[in-house]
Structure 1
Amino acid sequence: MPDSAHSEELGLRERKRRRTRSSLVAAARRLTLAHGIGGFTVEQLCDEIGISRRTFFNYFPSKEDAVLGSTDEELPQPILDAFLLSGRTDPPTPLIDALADLFAEFGDRLTISREEYELMSAVLHREPQLMPRLFARAEAKSQLLVDLIIAREGLPADHPLPRVATFVLGGLARRSLDEFFAEGNALSYPEVIRRNIDALRLLFPPPPGVARDLPVSQNQEPA
């Protein structure tokens, strides 16, 4: 098979895989809202979208995982590498600027719609026992960021800065997601997260002799 035909076949297969995964997640959330997480079976979920039980377990280990959705949407390695390299330039990019770029890149790759976000929020409101699973997923991603900061800054593993930065920026990222999906918002997610990180900077004056040069966000007027 020629390389181009092989690549096209792989592309079609991947698109089909993503469509099936997306259909599973949407159906699992609809059924959860209608009947509760204990009110339907994996078999009923499979019947909803026309796949076999065996196919289901190729995508998710449980119906709870199907409700929570995909966990394989990670940042491409070149973006993570750029974050690490930004600490080795001359002069190094300040950590908070590098983190702002990283979170903005992540936001630029969001594929969830407002409707999907609201549906997931409604599911979690109905089934709060799913929250620990969600927190466990978030903790795994937080640990990745902690490890990246440790590597970028050359810090010992027990240094508090990486965990504090991850905790604070992670909270800002979640708050920014709420703002991004709020009714009437016209800003992109990168614009929202950068605006909130700029606000965070105002809490901490720069050391004496270091000038602060913050960008003017879209809803601010120049002084």
Structure 2
Amino acid sequence: MQFLQLCKNIWMSSDLPSLRDRQKAETRLALHQAAVALVLERGLDSATVELITDRAGVSQRTFFNYFPSKEDAVLGLRTPVMDPALLEDFSFRQDVLGQVSRLLLVVASSAHEGVDQVRRRELTRMYPHMIHRLIERMNEAEDLVRGALAGLLAENPHWAAEIREEGMPGDVDDIVRLVVMTASIPLRFTIASGRYSPAAGLAPEDLAPALSLFHSVQRKLL
């Protein structure tokens, strides 16, 4: 199975969750919807955790099992996760940039799965300071991808060794950080483009035009 197809399959996974997982998802959604409704009704400052939990019908202790802050509940954010299956077909022999870009997209998307992206964008326009929570989650996703890539390089040391043989400075950590930072460019470019629809979201294959353009520009710059 090609890496792109694996990313797409995991991004669109339809495996039936367990009863416990469904209950957890329902509680998370209830808290998120309550938080959004209260912010729209009363404003962010007045939408307290106490009011959110009262409306959702759960305890404040339960709230903090799902969200570390009120802002995370409003935006529907969670800690991003890395599915080990994403790494099974990763190869350093083909389009490493594209693979890492798609990996980053899937991991970053896990932080807000099932959230109304249009409404979230409206809320961040109303309260711009909440964007820092989105940035923090993106940074967490990049940390996960960097860790995964470092592990892959440990199993395939020749790729990084070839870079150093060409006289380039930097250790493996530097190489990993630069690769992930570079791989985020097509993702950020696509989101910033007029072709991106918050309502539709992004699938791994949606990065293809930006990746193609990136490779073309890169060849001209070198």
Counterpart AA for 1:162: V
| TM alignment of 1:134-213, pairs within 5 A | 134-153=134-153, 154=157, 155=160, 156-159=171-174, 161-177=175-191, 179-181=195-197, 189-205=203-219
Corresponding residue for residue 123 of structure 2 = 123
Which amino acid is the alignment partner of residue 46 of structure 2? G
Letter in 2 for 1:190: P
1:3 paired residue number: none
RMSD over aligned Cα atoms:
3.3
Total equivalences in the alignment: 188
Q: Give the aligned partner of residue 65 of structure 1.
A: 72
Q: What is the TM-score normalised by the length of structure 2?
A: 0.69
Match of 1:217 in 2: none
The 1:47/1:135 distance shift into structure 2, 3 A limit, reads: same
Deviations 1:49-101 (A, max 9, x none): 22222322222233222123232452311213433xx13xxxx2231243255
1:144 to partner: Cα distance:
2.1
Distance change in 2, residues 1:18/1:193 (3 Å): same
Q: What is the SS of the residue equivalent to 1:134?
A: helix
Q: Note the residue ranges of structure 1 that are not aligned, 5 or more in a row.
A: 1-9, 209-223
The answer for the alignment partner of 2:85 in structure 1 is: 78
For 1:78 and 1:103, the matched residues in 2 are separated by 14
Residue 108 of structure 2 contacts residue 141 of structure 2 at CA under 8 Å; is this kept in 1? Answer: no
CA distance in 1, matches of 2:136, 2:202: 27
Give the C-alpha shift of residue 125 in structure 1: 1.4
In the alignment, residue 99 of structure 2 is paired with which amino acid? A
**Match in the other structure for 1:93:** 94
Inter-partner Cα distance in structure 2 for 1:101 and 1:125: 27
- SS of corresponding position for 1:43: helix
Q: For 2:39 and 2:66, locate their aligned partners in 1 and report how far apart those are by CA, in whole Å.
A: 18
Distance apart, 1:11 and its partner CA: 1.4
Structure 1 SS opposite 2:68: coil
Task: Give CA-to-partner distance per residue, 1:150-204, whole Å, 9 cap, x none.
Answer: 4434442442x43333223324324434644257x7x962232122111111112
Query: For residue 98 of structure 1, what is the amino acid of its counterpart?
Result: Q
CA contact (8 A) 2:104 2:142 kept: no
1:112 pairs with 2:119: no
Q: How far 1:30 moved relative to its partner?
A: 2.8
The structure with the larger Rg is 1
TM-aligned CA deviation for residue 134 of structure 1: 2.4
Where relative contact order (Cα < 8 A, 6+ residues apart) is larger, the structure is 2
Letter matched to residue 202 of structure 1 = S
2:5 corresponding residue in structure 1: none
Distance in 2 between residues matched to 1:100 and 1:141, nearest whole Å: 12
Q: Is the 8 A contact 1:36 1:127 kept in 2?
A: no
The TM-score with structure 1 as length reference comes to: 0.68
